[in-house]
Structure formats: structure tokens, C-alpha cells
């Protein structure tokens, strides 16, 4: 399963930081290092490991080069481990690639370096009014659009069709109240209505956004944590009600133990994950094949699905790019409607526009994901957010409240910790 990327870097060796960009030569006397022997300009593109399949990459590059015979594409696949520092080093150099795929919540970190091209004047040309918010918003820093939405993924509810049928539930819930009622019904015959670990903070963040709150807010240059607010208290109250309808641990996240293994046992009616988790479930227990359904996380009313964290990638152009015009042409094609529809089908991703959701009609999991993406959000748009996640006071706050602590007291401590990190000098 392709995992979500969020802002954050790992220590890298000097070798990993070294950038090797091969210069192309020309036999026609050209001095342009980006000109091939046939006179075509070669652009260097960094795409991330496993973001797209080899087959899709080859199809796109072949189609692009056919449509633009004066441009050749050299795709260099990068590893997520250590990519943050590698990109920062590239942006500070005179030899940066022309296009880079970055995690959507990493854009603020790279924009802070001053090494990204402002693409605000291209938004209209790219149909930006239809971009899904969870990709568009983190790509926009201080009113300037640096990141162009590429693809997205978000969490949905995976459910056991057999257990729903035995409980007499004929259609998935579309509101929070109905969700609680149905989950209560599913707690019968030794089954768990839902498996929800106490520190699944991305899911909690969705409930917080539904209440009109946020993990942190910015006023001028100052950040304030948002976990000591009425919205935060209402969100953790609902989270607690839902979490109690299962046997998930209060002091661990969804990986401890892996919720995939718990759900694969066949006695859990629901879990919250990306649709790709279904393949892992069936790999763990072949008997679960064809028993897994999907629905968007319910909202407070049936008019709108519940808010979700949107993971995924944006495309950026370094200011040091040797061929910015050709780089933009590449991005315009890959982020355009035709290739976005093909990408959605090939990879079960949410396309970058809400108007393209119908491309996933034949894929139930991806269709549920696309429906939820219409109410997608991102983490606070700060280059320091990675440091917040590294310590993650949100998880501590959740465990404290779920085990009886005063939400106001626990929330104040968590908010202070978040604010201290976000307000630290970069």
C-alpha cells in the first residue's frame, strides 16, 4: 500500500545528499547542456518511488515526448527516505532538476528556502478553481502558489459486508449519529463494531475540522495551538464515543498492533484506513476477499462527508531549473484532465480536481475516497510542522483524555507544545 507522505526528513549520508546530474552533449555545436544530439531539450524530473507504476510512467513519458518532440524527459526516481534534505540541497544549488514531486505537506518547508518558482499566474490556466483543497491549500504559501496538485489519497471506512448484513444494516451510514447507532448494532455475537486505536490522530483531526477547529492557527507570524478549544473538546468527545465501541488500545496508534491484522481476523466490522488496505487484509486472510466494502467517513450531516486529511503529492519547479518553460509544459500535461483520469484509474488515486471524481466510478474504494476528498484538509502550513509530528503531542493529548484527563488541561499542554515548535526559528 502506498503510504501517505507528510512533512519530515530523516538523517542522510553525504552520499545521499550528493546530486549527480548528467549533462547532455550536442553534436550540432550547441553550448546548451540541456540540448540533445537531435536538438531537443532534455528536462530532469524527480518523481518519488512507488508514486506511480513503471508502466504508467513509461506511458506518460512516451505520450508527452510524442506530443512535444522538442522535449525529452529524464525521470530520476527518488527514495522518500532522506528526500527532504536532498531537495533542500538541490534548491540551494545551481544544478537543480526542472520538476520535483514533493509531499503536499512539504511544500511550506521548501518554499521557506526561497528555491521554488511562484506559479500563481498559472493557476487559472491549470483550472485551479477545481483543485481539491487538501492539495491546493498546502501548495499555497503566503498567498503564492508554489505547488501544483498532482494526486491525492485519504482515509475511508472499510467495512465487513457479512457483519453489516448480519446486523441488518443494508446501507452504510452517512451521518455521525447514524454511524454511532450502526456501530453499536455491530457490537454483537462477539464482534467489534469498529477497531479504532486511541492515537489515530489523522482521524481525530478530521473530527476537529468538522467542528470548525484546527490543529493550529496562524495570526501574522505567530502560531497558536488549537487543542484547548471548544471545537477540540467536541471532537475528542465524539472520537471517544466511537473508540469505545471497539477494543482498540487507548495508548497506541493504528500500527500497534497493526489494525490490518486485527480487521483480517473477520470479527471486526469497521476500520479507518486508505482503500489500499483492503489488499493487505486479503493478503493476510484470503477468506476476506469480496467481503470488504467502503464508505466515506460520515459527516455531522448527510449533506457533506466527514473531513479527512489529504495525503499526496504536488509538483514544483525550482527557481534554479534550467528549463522552466518546458518544466511547466510537463506539469500542465501531467496535472491536466486527460492524464489525471488515466492516473486515477491506473493507481486508484484521487485526481487533483473535484470535477474528475467520476473517473473512479468503477473502483468502489477509490470512489469512496474521492467523495471524501471533497472535504479534504491538510496539516498546518508551516515548515516546522514536521517537528511537531516528530514529538506528536496530539497523540499524548488523545490518550490522556481517553483515559480520564480533563480535556481542557490536556489540550492546553498540547497546544502550548505545538505553538512552541511552530514558533521556533526555522
Q: pLDDT tens digits, residue range 57-100? A: 999 999 999 999 999 999 999 999 999 999 999 999 999 999 99
SS3 content of the chain, % helix, strand, coil (to 5): 40, 20, 40
pLDDT over threshold 50, residue 25 = no
pLDDT over threshold 60, residue 7 = no
Contact 174, 371 (CB under 8 A): no
What pLDDT is stored for residue 387 in this prediction? 93
pLDDT over threshold 80, residue 36 = no
Q: How far apart are CA 383 and CA 108, in angstroms?
A: 5
The pLDDT of 16-25, averaged and rounded, is 29
Contact 105, 7 (CB under 8 A): yes
pLDDT over threshold 50, residue 214 = yes
- The pLDDT tens digits of the residues spanning 307-317 come to 999 999 999 99
What pLDDT is stored for residue 426 in this prediction? 54
**Cα dist. 6→3, 48, 234, 311 in Å?**
10, 13, 26, 7
Confidence (pTM) = 0.86
pLDDT over threshold 50, residue 10 = no
User: Between 23 and 395, where is the model more confident?
Assistant: 395
Can you say how many angstroms the Cα of residue 90 is from the centroid of all Cα atoms in its chain?
23
pLDDT over threshold 60, residue 31 = no
Band of the pLDDT at 202, cuts 50, 70, 90? Answer: very high
User: Between 93 and 425, where is the model more confident?
Assistant: 93
pLDDT over threshold 80, residue 357 = yes
pLDDT over threshold 80, residue 222 = yes
N-terminal to C-terminal alpha carbon distance within the chain: 33
- The pLDDT tens digits of the residues spanning 242-275 come to 999 999 999 999 999 999 999 999 999 999 999 9
| Sole residue written with cell 472499510 | 158
Contact 71, 40 (CB under 8 A): yes
| CA-only gyration radius of the chain, Å | 23
The pLDDT of 46-67, averaged and rounded, is 96
pLDDT over threshold 70, residue 285 = yes
* Three cell numbers, residue 107: 511544500
What pLDDT is stored for residue 425 in this prediction? 82
Q: How far apart are CA 138 and CA 341, in angstroms?
A: 22
Is the bond preceding residue 257 a cis peptide, omega within 30 degrees?
yes
Q: What angle do CA 374, 350, 256 make, to 5 degrees?
A: 95
The residue among 271, 263, 242 whose CA lies nearest residue 178 is 242
Q: Mean pLDDT score of the chain, rounded to an integer?
A: 91
Q: Which domains does the chain have, with CATH numbers?
A: 14-153+311-377 (3.40.190.10), 156-309+384-422 (3.40.190.10)
Amino acid at each position: 500500500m502506498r503510504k501517505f507522505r507528510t512533512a519530515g526528513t530523516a538523517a542522510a549520508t553525504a552520499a545521499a545528499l550528493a546530486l549527480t546530474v548528467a549533462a547532455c552533449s550536442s553534436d550540432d555545436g550547441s553550448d546548451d547542456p540541456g540540448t540533445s544530439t537531435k536538438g531537443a531539450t532534455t528536462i530532469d524530473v524527480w518523481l518519488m518511488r512507488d508514486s506511480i507504476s513503471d508502466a504508467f510512467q513509461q506511458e506518460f513519458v512516451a505520450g508527452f515526448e510524442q506530443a512535444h518532440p522538442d522535449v525529452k524527459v529524464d525521470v530520476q526516481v527518488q527514495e522518500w527516505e532522506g528526500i527532504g534534505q536532498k531537495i533542500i540541497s538541490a534548491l540551494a544549488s545551481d544544478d537543480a532538476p526542472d520538476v520535483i514531486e514533493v509531499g503536499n505537506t512539504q511544500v511550506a518547508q521548501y518554499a521557506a528556502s526561497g528555491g521554488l518558482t511562484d506559479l500563481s499566474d498559472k493557476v487559472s490556466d491549470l483550472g485551479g478553481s477545481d483543485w481539491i483543497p487538501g492539495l491546493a491549500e498546502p501548495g499555497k504559501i503566503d498567498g503564492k502558489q508554489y505547488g501544483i496538485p498532482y494526486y491525492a489519497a485519504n482515509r475511508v471506512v472499510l467495512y465487513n459486508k457479512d457483519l453489516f448484513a448480519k446486523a441488518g444494516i443494508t446501507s452504510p451510514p452517512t451521518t455521525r449519529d447514524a454511524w454511532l447507532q450502526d456501530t453499536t448494532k455491530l457490537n454483537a455475537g462477539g464482534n467489534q463494531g469498529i477497531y479504532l486505536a486511541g492515537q489515530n490522530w489523522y482521524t481525530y483531526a478530521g473530527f476537529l475540522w468538522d467542528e470548525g477547529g484546527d490543529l493550529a492557527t496562524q495570526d501574522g507570524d505567530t502560531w497558536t495551538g488549537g487543542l484547548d478549544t471548544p471545537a477540540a473538546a467536541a471532537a475528542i468527545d465524539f472520537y471517544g464515543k466511537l473508540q469505545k465501541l471497539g477494543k482498540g488500545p487507548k495508548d497506541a496508534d493504528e500500527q500497534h498492533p497493526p489494525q490490518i491484522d486485527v480487521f483480517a481476523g473477520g470479527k471486526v466490522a469497521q476500520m479507518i484506513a486508505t482503500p489500499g488496505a483492503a489488499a493487505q487484509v486479503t493478503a493476510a486472510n484470503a477468506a476476506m476477499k469480496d467481503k470488504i466494502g467502503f464508505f466515506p467517513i460520515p459527516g455531522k450531516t448527510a449533506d457533506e462527508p466527514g473531513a479527512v486529511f489529504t495525503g499526496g503529492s504536488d509538483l514544483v519547479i525550482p527557481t534554479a531549473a534550467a528549463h522552466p518553460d518546458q518544466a511547466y509544459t510537463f506539469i500542465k500535461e501531467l496535472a491536466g484532465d486527460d492524464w489525471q483520469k488515466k492516473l486515477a484509474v491506473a493507481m486508484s488515486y484521487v485526481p487533483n480536481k473535484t470535477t474528475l471524481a467520476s473517473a473512479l466510478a468503477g473502483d468502489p474504494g477509490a470512489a469512496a475516497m474521492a467523495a471524501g476528498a471533497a472535504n479534504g484538509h491538510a496539516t498546518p502550513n508551516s515548515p516546522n510542522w514536521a517537528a511537531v509530528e516528530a514529538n506528536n503531542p496530539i497523540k499524548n493529548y488523545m490518550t490522556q483524555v481517553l483515559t480520564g484527563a480533563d480535556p481542557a488541561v490536556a489540550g492546553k499542554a498540547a497546544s502550548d507544545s505545538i505553538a512552541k515548535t511552530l514558533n521556533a526559528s526555522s
